[in-house]
């Protein structure tokens, strides 16, 4: 696919044996989410059941793309298209699943306009598409800065915007770990959707569309980050309560500097013994 070509993603639900695999894989993934990751998906009623919808989510681990597809199909019976690395479409088995679940290819090093045109086509035809506007996995717990023009397709297609937060994904699968930590609650929050009429009604008359897109992007990033900030605040509150009760380690004791000093002192003690 050239940089300027877009892919026509088939929005019809697969039938026959492909349909059986499609539904079985979703049910299996949902079962794994509930058992291994203790899924707690909040706000599924907020998912629009029809109309062009752009889902915007944070991306702290490798699980968000398949989780997003599974959540949309399992809880809302709605397909969703997500950009996928173009080299995945060359792997036979993986290629089958990327096509069945309506993914479309993007060359990360040289994307061109093709993926954007595909995204607009999906939204204009009433489909749902998911984007991770940071462009790659999050560097920290919070959603970082977005790539420029992340919401342009939604404005062009007059699509609804649906923010979703993977609240605890950064805890059970940190960026530094090669595998997830199972049996830890995975909290996912689906926020209220913003229709085109709603977010355009807030646009100041003297602000250009491009500038307003950046303002709206920052607003949505704040919405996505808020549940994570709330959880971090809960952790801080628990730590302060433990300090006050005298039955927990202090923040100073948890600092990296203290940990390194403790390990160094223990090593010195063993050497001198």
Asked whether residue 159 is assigned to any structural domain, the reply reads: yes
Range of the domain at 162: 16-236
Task: Give the pLDDT confidence score for residue 256 in this predicted structure.
Answer: 45
pLDDT over 90 at 54, yes or no: yes
Contact (CB, 8 A) for 243 and 235:
no
pLDDT over 60 at 251, yes or no: no
Asked whether residue 271 is assigned to any structural domain, the reply reads: no
Asked whether residue 23 is assigned to any structural domain, the reply reads: yes
Asked whether residue 47 is assigned to any structural domain, the reply reads: yes
The pLDDT confidence band at residue 157, using thresholds 50, 70 and 90, is: very high
Task: Give the pLDDT confidence score for residue 8 in this predicted structure.
Answer: 62
Q: What angle do CA 13, 91, 139 make, to 5 degrees?
A: 90
Percent of the chain residues past pLDDT 70, beyond the cut = 81
Whole-number Å distance between alpha carbons of 261 and 267: 10
CB atoms inside a 10 Å sphere around CB 241: 11
The CA-to-CA distance between both ends of the chain, in Å, stands at: 67
Task: Give the pLDDT confidence score for residue 127 in this predicted structure.
Answer: 93
Asked whether residue 147 is assigned to any structural domain, the reply reads: yes
Task: Give the pLDDT confidence score for residue 239 in this predicted structure.
Answer: 66
Q: Which of 69-78, 81-90, 102-111, 161-170 has the weakest average pLDDT?
A: 102-111
CATH assignment of the domain containing 167? 3.40.1130.10
Most confident of 28-42, 85-99, 226-240: 28-42
Asked whether residue 229 is assigned to any structural domain, the reply reads: yes
Percent of the chain residues past pLDDT 90, beyond the cut = 38
Q: Give how many domains the chain has, as a whole number.
A: 1
Task: Give the pLDDT confidence score for residue 23 in this predicted structure.
Answer: 87
Task: Give per-residue pLDDT as tens, 182-196.
Answer: 777 889 999 999 999
The pLDDT confidence band at residue 177, using thresholds 50, 70 and 90, is: confident
Q: Which of 59-63, 111-115, 128-132, 264-268 has the weakest average pLDDT?
A: 264-268
Mean pLDDT score of the chain, rounded to an integer? 82
pLDDT over 80 at 67, yes or no: yes
Give the pLDDT mean for 61-77.
Answer: 89
Asked whether residue 253 is assigned to any structural domain, the reply reads: no
Give the pLDDT mean for 5-13.
Answer: 65
Instruction: Return the higher-pLDDT residue of 108 and 129.
Output: 129
Asked whether residue 41 is assigned to any structural domain, the reply reads: yes
Task: Give per-residue pLDDT as tens, 197-245.
Answer: 999 999 999 999 899 999 999 999 999 999 999 988 877 766 656 666 6
Give the list of residues 6+ apart from residue 243 with CB closer than 8 angstroms, or none. Answer: 250, 251
Task: Give the pLDDT confidence score for residue 45 in this predicted structure.
Answer: 96
CB atoms inside a 10 Å sphere around CB 169: 27
* Cα atoms found within 13 Å of the Cα of residue 152, Cβ hemisphere only: 13
Q: What is the distance of C-alpha 2 from the center of its chain?
A: 27
Instruction: Return the higher-pLDDT residue of 260 and 80.
Output: 80
pTM: 0.80
């Amino acid at each position: 696919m050239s940089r300027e070509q877009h892919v026509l993603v088939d929005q019809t639900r697969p039938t026959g044996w492909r349909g059986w695999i499609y539904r079985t894989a979703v049910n299996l993934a949902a079962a794994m989410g509930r058992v291994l990751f203790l899924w707690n998906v909040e706000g599924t009623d907020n998912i629009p059941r029809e109309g062009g919808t752009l889902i915007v989510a944070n991306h702290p681990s490798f699980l968000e793309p398949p989780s997003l597809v599974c959540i949309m199909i399992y809880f809302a019976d709605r397909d969703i298209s997500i950009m996928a690395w173009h080299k995945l479409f060359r792997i036979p088995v993986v290629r089958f699943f990327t096509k069945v679940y309506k993914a479309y290819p993007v060359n990360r090093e040289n994307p061109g306009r093709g993926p954007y045109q595909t995204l607009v086509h999906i939204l204009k035809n009433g489909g749902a598409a998911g984007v991770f506007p940071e462009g790659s996995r999050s560097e920290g717990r919070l959603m970082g800065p977005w790539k420029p023009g992340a919401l342009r397709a939604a404005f062009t297609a007059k699509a609804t915007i649906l923010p979703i937060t993977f609240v605890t994904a950064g805890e059970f699968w940190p960026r530094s770990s090669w595998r997830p930590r199972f049996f830890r609650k995975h909290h996912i929050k689906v926020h209220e959707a913003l229709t085109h009429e709603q977010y355009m009604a807030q646009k100041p008359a003297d602000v250009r569309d491009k500038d307003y897109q950046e303002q709206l992007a920052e607003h949505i990033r704040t919405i996505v980050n808020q549940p994570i900030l709330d959880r971090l605040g809960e952790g801080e509150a628990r730590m302060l309560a433990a300090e006050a009760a005298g039955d927990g380690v202090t923040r100073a004791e948890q600092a990296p500097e203290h940990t390194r000093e403790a390990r160094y002192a223990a090593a010195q003690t063993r050497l001198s013994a």
